[in-house]
Structures are given as C-alpha cells and as structure tokens.
Amino acid sequence: MNNSRLIIFGVIGLVIAIFTLVLVNSTFLTIDAGFRGVLFQPFGKGIDKEKTYAPGFHVLAPWNSMYIYDVREQQLEESMTVLSSNGLNIQLDLTVRINPSFDKIGHLHEQFGENYMNTLVKPEVRSAVRTIIGRYKPEELYSTKRDEVQGLIQTDLEKILATNFIDLRAVLIRDIELPDKVRRAIEEKIEAEQKALKYEYILAQERKEKERILIEASAKAEANQILTQSLNDKILTEKGIEATLQLANSPNTKVIVVGGGDKGLPLILGDK
C-alpha cells in the first residue's frame, strides 16, 4: 500500500512539475492595436489559418510561435519606366495604399510570408501598370486619359490582390513624365488645337451675327411691304385731315385755307 501511494504521489508530483515547467516556460505575448497574430503549432496542424489573434494579452505554449502582422493601411510608392502603345518610354510615379485582410492573415502567411509586400504587392502593381499604360499613347496619358488610366489600374489590381488576401484602398498616379521632345510636341499640338477652337468660336459668333442682321433686315422689308400695300387714297386723306386738325390747334397757326392742295386737303398758312 505504501509503495502504491508513493507511486501515485510520484506520478502526481511529476505531472505538477511538468505543468509548472510548461507554465514557467510559456510565452506571454501582447498584440498591440492595429496588429493581428497567426499561430504556428509545430506539433499540431501547423499554421492556424482559420483563427486570427486579435490585439490583447495571449499565453502560448513554449513550442508554438506567433507571427505578428501589421494590418493598418500601408503605402507603397513606386517609380517605374513603362512603354506606351507606340513604344515610347513613360516615367510614372505611383502610390498604392493597401492592408492585409484581417481574417485571412493565416492564408497570407502560408502563401507569401511576412515579406508579402515585396513578393506579392510590388510585382502585381508593376504588372498591372505595364499592362494598362501599354494601351495608351503618350498624349493621352499627358492630357485627357490620366484619370481613366488610374481607375483601370485600380480595378485591375483590386481583383488580383483580393484573391491573395490583400485589400486595396487606393491607387494614385502622382506624376507622369514624357521625353522632352514628346512633351513639347504635345504641348504645341494642344496649344494649336486651343487656337483652332477659339477661331472656330469666333467664326460661329460672326455667322450668328450675320444671320441676325439678315433676319432683322428681312423683317423690316416685310413690314414696309405690308405697310405700303395697306396704304390707299382714303387712308392718306384721313391721315392728312388728322394732321391738319393738329396744326389748326397749334398756337403758331394764323390762317387756315380750306380746300387747297391737289388732293382737296385744307392748307394752313402761317403769318409769314
């Protein structure tokens, strides 16, 4: 009985000792805000891809490891030389803002590791930029198509990165530089086009003014024609009588002779 008790106490003591040793040697870990953890279990299932460890205090077994990922928005700035559709070199400065998908850190760690910015994001950014820029001419990139190009790069990158556990926040084209000769030629062309548009506007205004004058003259001619056709001897006589009556009432009128003139209208003679 004593031997059995000793054995039992010995086993219990050994278990307690092992537990104490494990507890003492356990890793105490704090994950800060803006970070997430991925657990690696060498004696278990390896990387725990389904669970992401949130900010806070964690206790790990000494044989396990925790990989900490910054999941805050990160900024990648790229300067690259790419070819336009006609084979000219275009210098492009680009900013890409991304962050890892919060709940997919385990998958990201397994496929690309902690250096995912260089192994995944940069190559995909460069590939998308080369593909999109290669569809456009330099003058389009320099003037009218810049926003369109930026939108296409963002759409293309968004799809690719999403399948690889990265959330794309924004793509910004900071600057596009063309060879000096090409840039000067484009600026001269744009200036000539602006002048042509200005002259076209002036000509259009002149044409409108000409049309206005013609319409006004036509309206006056038509009015005079209508007035001429409407006048006859009776109307003229009536108008003459009205004028004579007005003159008769004038303080300067001295003598009125009735029945004078070719048309039998009254004649008015003054004191002179």
pLDDT in tens, 29-74: 889 999 999 999 888 888 888 889 999 988 888 888 899 999 999 9
Question: Could you tell me which of 131, 125, 42 has the C-alpha nearest to residue 85?
Answer: 131
Query: Which of 93-97, 114-118, 174-178 is predicted with the least confidence, judged by mean pLDDT?
Result: 174-178
Assign 141 a pLDDT band (cuts: 50, 70, 90). Answer: confident
Question: Is residue 195 predicted with pLDDT exceeding 80?
Answer: no
Tokens found for residue 247: 């003159």
Query: Per this entry, what is the length of the chain?
Result: 272
Question: Is residue 221 predicted with pLDDT exceeding 90?
Answer: no
pTM to 2 decimal places: 0.59
Q: How many CB atoms lie within 10 A of CB 103?
A: 13
**Using CA atoms, how far apart are residues 70 and 100, in angstroms rounded to an integer?**
8
Assign 140 a pLDDT band (cuts: 50, 70, 90). Answer: confident
Contact 142, 176 (CB under 8 A): yes
Which residue type does 40 have?
Answer: F
Assign 86 a pLDDT band (cuts: 50, 70, 90). Answer: confident
102: DSSP letter: G
Q: What percent helix, strand, coil does the chain show, rounded to 5?
A: 50, 25, 25
**Rounded mean pLDDT, 105-111:** 93
